[in-house]
Amino acid sequence: MRHIELNNEITQMQDGFYQLHKDKEALAVFMEEARENTVHFHSVAERIQYMLNHDYYYDVLGEYTMEEIEAVYDAAYSEKFEFQSYMAASKFYKDYALKTDDQKQYLEHYEDRVAIVSLYLGRGNAEKAKQFASMIVKQNYQPATPTFLNAGRSRRGEMVSCFLLEMDDSLNSIGFNINTAMQLSKIGGGVALNLSKLRARGEQIKGIDNAASGVVPVMKLLEDSFSYANQLGQRKGAGAVYLNIFHWDIIEFLDTKKINADEKSRIQSLSIGIIVPSKFFELAEKNEPLHVFAPYTVYKEYGKHLDDIDIDEMYDELMDNPKVKKKALDLSARDMLIKIAMIQLESGYPYLMFKSNANKEHPLKDIGTVKMSNLCTEIFQLQETSEINDYGKGDIIRRDINCNLGSLNIVNVMENKEIREAVHAGMEALTAVSDMTVIPNAPTVKKANEELHSVGLGAMNLHGYLSKNKIAYESAEAKEFVRTFFMMLNYYSIEKSMELAKEKNETFKDFDKSDYANGTYFEKYEENGYSPVTEKVIQLFEGIHIPTKEDWSQLKQQVMEHGLYNALTISAPR
C-alpha cells in the first residue's frame, strides 16, 4: 500500500535529514483510502437508523431525541478535527473505528466515534453528552481504550481498563482467580494478580515436605489463560503478576524474564512486577545480606501471610524466629538491585511497586491496605483477600480492584485554559463508566466497583508540554510545573466527586473512616502553597486560576459535609 511505503520513507535520510514531510504525505493517502472504504450516510438520522437496524449501536433513541443526537454530532464535527500524523489515523481506523461485520468497510470516522461514546456516557443527558463530545474532540480529555472502543456499541466488551486480583494460598483460590482473570480478559481488560501468598517451591502441603510447586507453574497457567481469552480477537489479553521481594521464590520469579531462561520456566507474554517494602532499601543502604522467607511458615506461626504483615516492623522478628523458614540469597540487597536492573535492561521487567510509600500516602488506610499495582503501575487501591471454599460451603467475597481510566492531555488543557472543565468532564465520564459497569462473572471486582466507585483520572503528554515550552525534563521548573498542575488535577477531581456525592446523596462505603472524612488528608494543602514561584512557570499558568490554601480549606469543609462519591479519583501523583 502506498501509504505504508511513504511512512517507511520517513527514516530514509536525504541531505542528512529524515524525510519528516513523508508522514503528511502518508497521512493524506491513507485518509483518502479510508474515506473511500467508509459507508456513507446522507444524514445523522440515516446513520443512527442504519446502525440500530443492523445491531451496531445500542438503543440510543431510547435515551435521546433525534434532535439531541444531531446536536451532539454537531458538537463533535464543529471542531474541524484533523489527524496530525499517519500513525494516529491508522491507529484509529485499525483499532477503534467500528467496521461492518465482514470487516471490509468502516462505519465511523473519528467524530462519529466521539459522538456515540459521548451519547452513551451521557446516559440521556444531552448537555453532558455535548460537553463530553467537545472535551474529547478538542483532545482535552481522552477515554481509555476499552471505553473509547466499546462505549455505544451493541456488541461490545466492558469499558473498564484493568483489574487487580488477590490470590490466596489454596487451590480453590488459584482456580477461582484464573477463571476470574479469563472472564475479565474476555471483556477487554488487562489483569494483574498478586501471587505473594502462594507457598514457595518445596514448602509443605498437609505436612508433607517438598510438595508445593511454587509460583512459576501458576505463572505459566496464567500466561496461557491470557493468550486464550481475548476480546473477540480484537484486543489481545494482557496480564501481569506481582510478588513480594521477600518471597522465597523471588529469584525464580525474576529469572522467568531472562533471555537465556529455560523454556520450561521462561515467561514470554506475562508481565511481572515486584512489591518492594521500605525494609529492602534499608538493607540495601546498609549493604546487608538479603534474606527471603517461606510464606507458609510465616502464616503457620503468625496466622497472617507474609504479604499482609508489616515487614518494615517485623523483619528482625522474622529473622530471629526459628519457626520461620528463611534463607540468605547469594546476593546482597544491593546486588539484588543490580540484578533487577539487568533483567529490566533485557526485558523491560520487572515493574517496581513501593508498598510502604503507597500505604503511607493512602487516604483509606483505616479501611484497607494497598497491596500491589496494575499493568501500568499507576493504580494504588485497597484490596482484600476473599475466601474461596469447596462447593456447598459458600465463599466469603471481599473487594478486589477495577480501574476506570481516562486522561487529560496536558498540552491542550493548558493551552485551552480548561483544566477545571476538563477534569470535571473526565470525572463525570469515568463515574458513568463505573456506574454502568456490570461484571457478574468477577464477584470480587463487582463488589469493589459497587461499594467504592473508584476512578483513575490521569494526565498524559507531560514530556510534550515541557518540550514545547523548552523546559528540561528534570529541571527545577519542570518539577514546579508538575507540582502545581497535579495539585490542580487533584483539587478539581475531589471537588467534582464531592458534587457527585451531593447530587446523588451517596458516598463510597466507609467514607466516614477515611482521611477525607476527618480532614487530615487536606492538611498538607492547607499548610503548603502549591502556586509557582519562578517567572517561567508563572507565565505558563497565566489566566488560569490556581486553587489557594483558602480554596483547599473550603473544599475540606464541603467534603466533610457532603462526602465523596469516588473512593479514589486520580491515577496520578497526589
CB 530 within 8 A of CB 483: yes
Backbone angles phi, psi at 379, to 5 degrees: -110, 125
Q: Which residues contact 241 (CB under 8 A, 6 or more apart)?
A: 192, 193, 194, 195, 215, 218, 219, 222, 270, 271, 272, 273
Asked if 166 is an active-site residue, the reply is: no
Grid cell, residue 423, equals: 477534569
Helix H or strand E segment including 275:
strand 271-276
Q: Which residues contact 184 (CB under 8 A, 6 or more apart)?
A: 163, 191, 439, 442, 445
Asked if 378 is an active-site residue, the reply is: yes
Question: Residue written as cell 480477537?
Answer: 233
Could you say which DSSP state residue 61 is in? G
**First vs last Cα of the chain: how many Å apart?**
47
Grid cell, residue 446, equals: 463487582
Q: Which residues contact 351 (CB under 8 A, 6 or more apart)?
A: 240, 242, 271, 272, 273, 274, 373, 377
Closest to 216 in 3D by CA, of 264, 258, 259, 180: 264
Could you say which DSSP state residue 351 is in? E
Q: Which residues contact 43 (CB under 8 A, 6 or more apart)?
A: none
Q: Out of 68, 162, 203, 376, pick the active-site residue.
A: 376
CB 191 within 8 A of CB 181: yes
CB atoms within 10 A of CB 94: 9
CB 526 within 8 A of CB 559: no
Q: Out of 150, 194, 359, 374, pick the active-site residue.
A: 374
Q: Out of 79, 301, 378, 499, pick the active-site residue.
A: 378
Asked if 374 is an active-site residue, the reply is: yes
Grid cell, residue 161, equals: 481498563
DSSP characters over 160-214: --EEEEE--SSHHHHHHHHHHHHHHHHTT-EEEEE-TTSPPTT--BTTBTT----
CB atoms within 10 A of CB 72: 27
CB 188 within 8 A of CB 231: yes
Distance CA(379)–CA(399), nearest Å, equals 15
Supply the residues annotated as catalytic.
Answer: 374, 376, 378
